[in-house]
Amino acid sequence: MSTQSASGAVGNVTVNGVKLWEDILETARFGGTPKGGIRRLALTEEDRQVRDWFVRACEALGCTVSHDSMGNQFARRPGTEETLPPITMGSHLDTQPTGGKFDGIVGVLGGLAVLRTLHETGRETRHPIELINWTNEEGSRFAPAMLSSGVFAGVFTEQEALDTKDREGVRFGDALEGIGYRGVEVCGAHPVAAYFELHIEQGPILEVEHKTIGIVTGVQGMRWYEVTLTGRDSHAGSTPMRMRADALVTAARLIDAVQTIALEHGPDAVGTVGLIENRPNSRNVVPGDVFFAVDFRDPDDSIVQKMEEAFYAQASELAEAAGLTLEIARVWDTPAVQFDPECIASVARAADALGYPARRIVSGAGHDATYMAQVAPTAMIFVPCAGGLSHNEEESAEPDDVTAGANVLLRAVLETDMRL
């Protein structure tokens, strides 16, 4: 097949949607659950297996694959002007403990579909084109989320990240060494000309409005907290109610307060407690220690700040009234992000040229693009997911929608290659 010039028009080239869907089903084997989802926590054996698959798949398309000191993988297709920094695509292959087959995965495999199209059509680009698999985006094993893209962007130091431990005390750096993906290149030293990320929406708006493409303009602000309430373990049968220091009762009241605070701060504010540990967790012991996590989000950073202040005040009041010791640590703070106008415009033009119904949208979830926007011009592409359901084994998306997202990604990358 004849080679097209990088200076030519973007053209009508499209991805192989059938092969893209096959890749989604094939990679779902690594950590697949009986309910049809995936449990592929960062830096586990299942993560190593899908990383090895990623290397093989990219090398089969003539790419060279490397990984940096945080385990981020880079699959590189050469450009005609190799001194130019690469135009990149990316997302992640790690999942929640009860995750689905699409969150993050669509972005990596959609990028793979772009590389496959360029390879099979012989299309040349001025810039090298790279596909990135980011390490530990989910934060479900090592908090906070987006840890490695955060190091890449200078938000966290590499040593902070390597010393982070999971709930069982396993150190991030040791787990990374354990799966053989600690690279030599210093995380963040990799040049980037622009970054595009394809993702399922993880919300219901596109589906409800019958839109195929979400043109993502930015990401809302979000903060995570870890809360520990300490009282006193005591016998459930012989300790009078008035003499108890029950940490779980106060935790329950605080968890309810998280819900109330979010509802009181406007239509876009959200507050969640999704992790709780009750100790000693025995049916006939008054709980003396409770740990839980809090997640506050809103597109307006000032609203997030107000929710934090309200939560701190109620937590102090409730803990003092119950005679408990309170510890609150803010473990993650990512302000609202606005994506690059030119990259957003490239996504919009791609959707329009391909005839896909589209709308502009703000992301309610955090993504590696949040931190990449601090490094290079960045934009995201959303496709619908059934019922807006995500972080769930029943997470689902339509093959045609996933293919559409990959086609928009391909077109936006090619236009950006000609523009920069």
Token code pair at residue 341: 């106008």
The pLDDT of residue 11: 82
Q: Indicate the burial class of 185 (C-beta count within 10 angstroms; 0-12, 13-18, 19 or more).
A: middle
Alpha helices (H) along 242-388: 247-264, 301-322, 341-354, 368-372
Report the relative pairing of strands 285-286 and 194-200 from DSSP bridges.
unpaired
Same domain, 213 and 252: no
Same domain, 168 and 266: no
Q: Could you say which of 334, 353, 373 is where a domain stops?
A: 334
Same domain, 348 and 215: yes
Whether the per-residue pLDDT at 188 is higher than 60: the answer is yes
The pLDDT of residue 9: 72
Same domain, 94 and 234: no
CATH number, domain at 289? Answer: 3.30.70.360
Query: pLDDT by residue (tens digit) across 223-281?
Result: 999 999 999 999 999 999 999 999 999 999 999 999 999 999 999 999 999 999 999 99
Same domain, 67 and 46: yes
The pLDDT of residue 228: 98
> Binding site residues, as ranges?
92, 103, 138, 199, 391
Q: Compute the average pLDDT of residues 38-66.
A: 98
First to last CA, the chain: 27
Whether the per-residue pLDDT at 2 is higher than 60: the answer is no
Whether the per-residue pLDDT at 12 is higher than 60: the answer is yes
Q: Looking at the domain assignment, is residue 7 inside a domain? A: no
8 Å CB contact between 34 and 96: no
The amino acid at residue 87 is I
8 Å CB contact between 36 and 394: yes
Which residue's structure tokens are 């990596």? 108
Same domain, 31 and 156: yes
Secondary element (H or E) of residue 177: helix 172-178
Same domain, 262 and 319: yes
Q: Compute the average pLDDT of residues 374-392.
A: 97
CA pair distance 333, 152, nearest whole angstrom: 16
Q: Compute the average pLDDT of residues 40-60.
A: 98
Q: Looking at the domain assignment, is residue 5 inside a domain? A: no
CA pair distance 176, 320, nearest whole angstrom: 42
SS3 track for 41-103 = CCCCHHHHHHHHHHHHHHHCCCCEEEEECCCCEEEEECCCCCCCCCEEEEEECCCCCCECCCC
What angle do helix axes 17-27 and 45-59 make, rounded to 10 degrees? 150
Q: Could you say which of 334, 355, 376 is where a domain stops?
A: 334
The pLDDT of residue 57: 98
Can you give the C-alpha Rg of the chain in angstroms?
Answer: 23
Same domain, 205 and 240: no
Which residue's structure tokens are 């990512």? 334
Whether the per-residue pLDDT at 98 is higher than 90: the answer is yes
Same domain, 294 and 353: no
Q: Looking at the domain assignment, is residue 6 inside a domain? A: no
> Binding site residues for Zn(2+), as ranges?
92, 103, 138, 199, 391
Kindly report each contact of residues 53-61 with a partner whose C-beta sits within 8 Å and lies 24 or more positions away, as own/partner. Answer: 53/26, 53/27, 54/93, 54/108, 54/112, 54/133, 57/23, 57/112, 58/112, 58/115, 58/131, 61/112, 61/115, 61/116, 61/119
The pLDDT of residue 3: 36
Q: Could you say which of 309, 334, 359 is where a domain stops?
A: 334
Strands annotated E in 187-232:
194-200, 213-219, 221-230
Q: What percent of the chain has pLDDT over 70?
A: 98
Q: Looking at the domain assignment, is residue 12 inside a domain? A: no
Same domain, 131 and 274: no
Distances (CA, A) of 241 to 235, 238, 279, 283, 288: 11, 9, 18, 16, 14
Query: pLDDT by residue (tens digit) across 104-113?
Result: 999 999 999 9
Query: Which residue segment(s) compose the domain that 318 sits in?
Result: 221-334
DSSP assignment string, 111-170: HHHHHHHHHHHT---SS-EEEEEESS-S-SSSSSSSHHHHHHTTSS-HHHHHH-B-TT--
Q: Looking at the domain assignment, is residue 41 inside a domain? A: yes
Same domain, 323 and 405: no
Q: Compute the average pLDDT of residues 178-199.
A: 98
Q: Looking at the domain assignment, is residue 383 inside a domain? A: yes
Least confident of 5-14, 176-185, 218-227: 5-14
Q: Looking at the domain assignment, is residue 100 inside a domain? A: yes
Q: Compute the average pLDDT of residues 27-45.
A: 97
Q: Compute the average pLDDT of residues 363-387.
A: 96
**CB environment 287-301: b (16+ within 10 A), e (fewer):** bbbbbbbbbbbbbeb
Same domain, 319 and 358: no
The amino acid at residue 270 is V
The pLDDT of residue 8: 46
DSSP state of 186: P
Phi and psi at residue 58, in whole multiples of 5°? -75, -40
Query: pLDDT by residue (tens digit) across 120-177?
Result: 999 999 999 999 999 999 999 999 999 999 999 999 999 999 999 999 999 999 999 9
Token code pair at residue 318: 């409730």
Query: Which residues have C-beta within 8 Å of that of residue 193, sequence separation ≥ 6?
Result: 84, 85, 86, 87, 88, 127, 376, 377, 416, 420
What integer best gives the mean pLDDT of the chain? 96
Q: What percent of the chain has pLDDT over 90?
A: 96
CA pair distance 142, 376, nearest whole angstrom: 25
Q: Looking at the domain assignment, is residue 269 inside a domain? A: yes
Instruction: Give the total number of structural domains in the chain.
Output: 2
Whether the per-residue pLDDT at 80 is higher than 60: the answer is yes
Q: What is the reported pTM? A: 0.86
CATH number, domain at 125? Answer: 3.40.630.10
